[in-house]
Structure 1
Amino acid sequence: MTKKNYTLKEIAQLAEVSRGTVDRVLHKRGRVSEEAQKRVEKILKEIDYKPNLFAKSLKTHKNYTICALIPEDSEGEYWQQCAKGVQKAEEELRQFGISISYVRYVSTLKEFKTKLTEAIEQIPDAFLIVPIFHEPLKDLYRKAEDLKKPIALINSEVESLEPVTFLGQAYKKSGKIAAQLMGYLTPPQQDKQLLVMHLGIKSGHASHLTEKEDGFRSYFAAHHPYVTIKTISSTSIEDFVDTDFDLSHIAGIYVTTSKIHQLEGILKKHPHIQAIGYDLTAKNTTCLKNGTVKMLLNQNPELQGHQGITSLSELLLYSKSIPKRNLLRVDIVVAENLDEFS
């Protein structure tokens, strides 16, 4: 249920005081009697009023709905964190008429197509989309654009789509950073072998992962061309284990997804392997603390979700211009600085 967007006049009527008194209480300026102060504060608590800086620029009380098309929580903790960011933004913005319509999906082509169609049929005021499956759904993306509603993409981009903003990382740069760190961690022998793993990919779409790999490879090609790099794409760790891949000569593993914790057992059996992965999920940080994983690169999915909704809201509420590409920084997290990110 959408929370009522209370005006100062309505709050004043509920508290049986003047509009000016409410304004002075909210902004802590001017003199207010103790009794009036208590009445206003009581009403603010009852209606769960949360002040927000948006109010300073707000020029309309129109209500807006943003459709958030994001993966189900069952798809992993990364997407749980993304949803948490969306929900946090909704709580902050609902008093200004912003509500979120959630359309959640699991990573199959059939499911995503169905849910994208459902989102379009809602005809919301804006879309926040985590896109998977690009090529097969060009016509659907075009249909969404035909609605002339602002679209924000997070996590990965779609070539055929021109959103008002994209929030994510510069993935090739991220791969280069991972490569440089791997170079520090692994010995500089001439026959060094490294492994790039796209782990936990169910959709078949991994353009942003390919960018990470390209960045990783380009760094070594430029600085350490003698290094051999192999790539494995695996839906699950069980599929990888079934291949009987020889890890005895692998010096380091770079996992391009948030699933590096699935390698914990393997890394404990092969302590010589240096491992770098992504994201501060609970299982990943446990591996970081116990030393099986040496470094994590934080993509901050919660911030992506929160900032995606916030940016669209700024656009809807008062036509504020937002950056076409909002690239978030790449945080390098080790056991020693992990507490700074909690």
Structure 2
Amino acid sequence: MKPRITIKEIAKQADVSIGTVDRVLHDRGRVSPETKERVLRIAKEGNYSSNVYARNLKLNKTYHLAVILPEKNSYWVKHRQGVEKAVAEYDFLQVDMHAYSLAVESQTEIEGIIQEVVAAKPDGIVLAPIFLNENSPAVERLKKSQIPVILVDSKIPLPNCLSYIGQDAFQSGRMSGGLLHEGYSENYDLYVITFQMADLYNKTIAARIEGLENYFEEVNNSPQVIKINMEQEAMGYSELIERMLTRKKPVRVFVPNSRSYFLATEMNEVKQELKLRMVGYDLIEENKMYLEDGTINYLIHQQPKQQGFKAIQALHQHLLLNMEVEQQQFLPLDIITKENLMYCEH
């Protein structure tokens, strides 16, 4: 049998005091969540049966989690990778994945998925509530279930929400306004472009646009914000570009989701003529290509893989370690340019 690690060795490997190790192993006193997890991991790897792990091993209890995310596009697949990484790292967890489409009619689909998940009585739920609001039947069902929920990417009022993990959408919109207005020397046209009807019901997108508008309310001689939803207005890209060229002003574009590349593909040839500056979101492969060639100037990196990982980590802390979890875990508003792209974790 592998020799059991000593408390002194655990303390050395975790770079903490013996007293801290003792508090963690006997579940008493105040220790930061990161330190507690590190100590317990080292103890487990070293064959030291801490109270927490011994209890779960004795009970042989597996915690069942449900993860409800949009379909696997280039952005949301990263959340799943983070979830899978966390599940591989933490014990006693079994995860069922559920996906819904990003079409405007997906509201009914989400309702059905949540009804099915709640009926299965999982120990915890990870949810991206993109099209949900506090009055929807699905949210009422979640409230009544009292199942602990981790929200990722988007926030909704939910009493049993254990934690929100993601960015401050409003503040990211304000920051985008600053990036677009930086170095202002002549009047320009400012466009906010969304693509599908479903984007009009997306609360995160709405909060980003609200933040952008809030920034420009504080700017002297601020431009008019021209909002265009391509599907709603039945507008093609050639028509949009012609409209921009006709006005003969520099163009600033804010794309408040991961689809900047839709525009960049069409605007690549006229970016110099338009004096284009574009801000978008997410380090998906399609966006990175246009960031590198200068059609997109800035991408705001939301760290979706971290969102997925931290969501499972939070449920692990709550269910297995009986730890308090931060109610809001805001991720940094990372600004990515072609100059620092190579150093970013994608």
Cα distance change on mapping 1:319 and 1:309 into 2, 3 Å: same
Superposed CA deviations along residues 202-259 of structure 1, whole A, max 9, x for unmatched, are 3642221111111111112202343121112235998542754611235210100000
The corresponding residue for 1:106 is 101
Residue 58, structure 1, aligned to residue 52, structure 2: yes
- 1:322 aligns to what SS in structure 2? coil
Residue 141, structure 1, aligned to residue 139, structure 2: yes
Residue 67, structure 1, aligned to residue 61, structure 2: no
The corresponding residue for 2:290 is 287
Alignment length (residue pairs): 295
Q: What displacement does 1:268 show?
A: 1.4
Residue 263, structure 1, aligned to residue 263, structure 2: yes
Ranges in structure 1 where 5+ consecutive residues have no aligned partner: 1-16, 30-50
Superposed CA deviations along residues 156-200 of structure 1, whole A, max 9, x for unmatched, are 111355511111111111111111111126x422x4210112334
Matched letter for residue 88 of structure 1: K
What is the aligned counterpart of 1:193 among 178, 189, 193?
A: 189
C-alpha separation in 2, matches of 1:24 and 1:226:
64
C-alpha separation in 1, matches of 2:199 and 2:113:
15
% identical aligned pairs:
20
Ranges in structure 2 where 5+ consecutive residues have no aligned partner: 11-39, 45-49
Q: Is 1:199–1:255's contact at 8 Å kept on the other side of the alignment?
A: no
C-alpha separation in 2, matches of 1:57 and 1:216:
50
Cα distance change on mapping 1:296 and 1:66 into 2, 3 Å: same
Matched letter for residue 119 of structure 1: V
C-alpha separation in 1, matches of 2:293 and 2:191:
22
Q: What displacement does 1:71 show?
A: 1.4
**Pairwise CA RMSD of aligned residues?**
2.7
The TM-score with structure 2 as length reference comes to 0.78
Matched letter for residue 251 of structure 2: A
Q: Is 1:193–1:252's contact at 8 Å kept on the other side of the alignment?
A: yes
What is the aligned counterpart of 1:79 among 64, 72, 76?
A: 76
Q: Is 1:197–1:255's contact at 8 Å kept on the other side of the alignment?
A: yes
C-alpha separation in 2, matches of 1:273 and 1:329:
26
What is the aligned counterpart of 1:88 among 85, 89, 106?
A: 85
Q: What displacement does 1:327 show?
A: 0.8
The corresponding residue for 1:122 is 120
Residue 172, structure 1, aligned to residue 167, structure 2: no
Matched letter for residue 171 of structure 1: A
- 2:308 aligns to what SS in structure 1? helix
The TM-score with structure 1 as length reference comes to 0.79
What is the aligned counterpart of 1:327 among 295, 314, 330?
A: 330
C-alpha separation in 1, matches of 2:229 and 2:43:
44
Q: Is 1:68–1:127's contact at 8 Å kept on the other side of the alignment?
A: yes
Cα distance change on mapping 1:258 and 1:149 into 2, 3 Å: same
Which segment is superposed worse, 76-85 or 249-258? Answer: 249-258
Cα distance change on mapping 1:202 and 1:239 into 2, 3 Å: farther
